[in-house]
């Protein structure tokens, strides 16, 4: 029997252009604090008879409130890859921060896969601290509870199989119950790392993004992600604009990247020969 493989898409639905590099690393020593934009993604996994959405983005109202540039509703973007939100039955919520779990109600027939620890985190005593509460929207937490009472939350504890070939792995650091998703593709095993690594540079430099509940847990997560992925570009960071430079894009839509296709750098040949220095220069 041949090995099952999936197509994986990154859909960039919003961006934050005015961010500086010093805001993106916990250990930073920047002489020249350059702009380092942050993009927002939803991910979609397509198999022969499976569709799985990973995270649900945020809506236009939240974009306005948090002063993020909203490009398009990620739920609408799904149509461009042949997915109708009404037909989706499985959605993974990597964690409950506002940019990953808005729009839950736009998937009326879905069950949402979430870690025990994440629901306990966003409904428990930690939310008494403003610094920890800030990346959450209470309306999203209320929607999750609504889904719980509709029997549409599926709880996971630690690592588990989602469907054939696709696994959830709980990793520490960013929140208490963040999970990443491993997916087999024709180019090997990829890891949708979500916010276990916002940028490739967080993981490369072993310098976590500053929104972190447990620095040790996040550094351990970086090691684990590297062990799970088949190579550096099989790690898909949660917010890195370089995703759309490195991976081929869906014809006709510059905001959708094909993560299952071998990445190629313009004028530099195949990924295997590309150094991190070259990666840095592709955005200039």
Segment interacting with Zn ion (CB under 5 A) among 69-77, 118-126, 187-195, 245-253: 187-195
Residue from 195, 199, 200, 229 in contact with Zn ion (CB under 5 A): 195
What's the min distance (Å) between Cβ of 38 and Zn ion? Answer: 8
Residues touching Zn ion, count (CB under 5 A) = 2
The nearer residue to Zn ion, 5 or 215, going by C-beta atoms, is 215
Residue 91: strand, helix, or coil: strand
The nearer residue to Zn ion, 73 or 194, going by C-beta atoms, is 194
39 touching Zn ion, by CB under 5 A: no
What's the min distance (Å) between Cβ of 4 and Zn ion? Answer: 29
How many whole angstroms separate alpha carbon 45 and alpha carbon 185?
10
The nearer residue to Zn ion, 121 or 271, going by C-beta atoms, is 121
The nearer residue to Zn ion, 117 or 195, going by C-beta atoms, is 195
Segment interacting with Zn ion (CB under 5 A) among 65-73, 125-133, 193-201, 265-273: 193-201
CB atoms within 10 A of CB 243: 21
User: Strand ranges (DSSP E) for the chain?
Assistant: 7-16, 38-46, 51-54, 69-70, 90-92, 111-115, 153-156, 160-163, 166-170, 179-185, 188-194, 235-237, 249-250, 253-258, 264-265, 269-270
118 touching Zn ion, by CB under 5 A: no
99 touching Zn ion, by CB under 5 A: yes
User: Strand ranges (DSSP E) for 116-198?
Assistant: 153-156, 160-163, 166-170, 179-185, 188-194
How many whole angstroms separate alpha carbon 138 and alpha carbon 2?
45
Tell me which residues touch Zn ion (CB under 5 A). Answer: 99, 195
């Amino acid at each position: 029997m041949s090995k099952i493989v999936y197509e994986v898409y990154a859909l960039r639905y919003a961006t934050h252009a005015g961010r500086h590099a010093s805001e993106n690393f916990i250990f930073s020593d920047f002489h020249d604090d350059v702009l380092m934009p942050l993009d927002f993604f939803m991910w979609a996994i397509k198999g022969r008879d499976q569709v799985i959405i990973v995270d649900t983005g945020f809506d236009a109202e939240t974009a306005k409130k948090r002063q993020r540039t909203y490009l398009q509703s990620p739920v609408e973007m799904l149509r461009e890859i042949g997915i109708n939100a009404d037909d989706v039955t499985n959605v993974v919520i990597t964690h409950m921060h506002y940019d990953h779990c808005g729009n839950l109600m736009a998937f009326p027939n879905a069950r949402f896969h979430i870690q025990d620890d994440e629901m306990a985190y966003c409904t428990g005593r930690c939310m008494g601290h403003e610094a920890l509460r800030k990346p959450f929207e209470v309306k999203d937490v209320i929607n999750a509870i609504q889904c719980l009472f509709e029997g549409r939350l599926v709880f996971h504890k630690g690592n588990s199989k989602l469907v054939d070939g696709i696994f959830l792995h709980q990793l520490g650091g960013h929140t208490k119950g963040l999970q990443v998703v491993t997916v087999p593709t024709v180019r090997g095993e990829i890891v949708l790392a979500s916010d276990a690594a916002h940028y490739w540079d967080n993981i490369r430099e072993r310098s976590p993004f500053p929104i972190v509940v447990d620095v040790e847990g996040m550094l351990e997560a970086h090691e684990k992600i590297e062990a799970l992925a088949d190579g550096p570009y099989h790690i898909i960071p949660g917010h890195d604009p370089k995703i759309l430079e490195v991976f081929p894009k869906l014809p006709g839509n510059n905001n959708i990247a094909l993560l299952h296709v071998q990445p190629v750098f313009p004028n530099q040949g195949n990924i295997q020969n590309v150094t991190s220095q070259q990666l840095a220069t592709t955005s200039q």
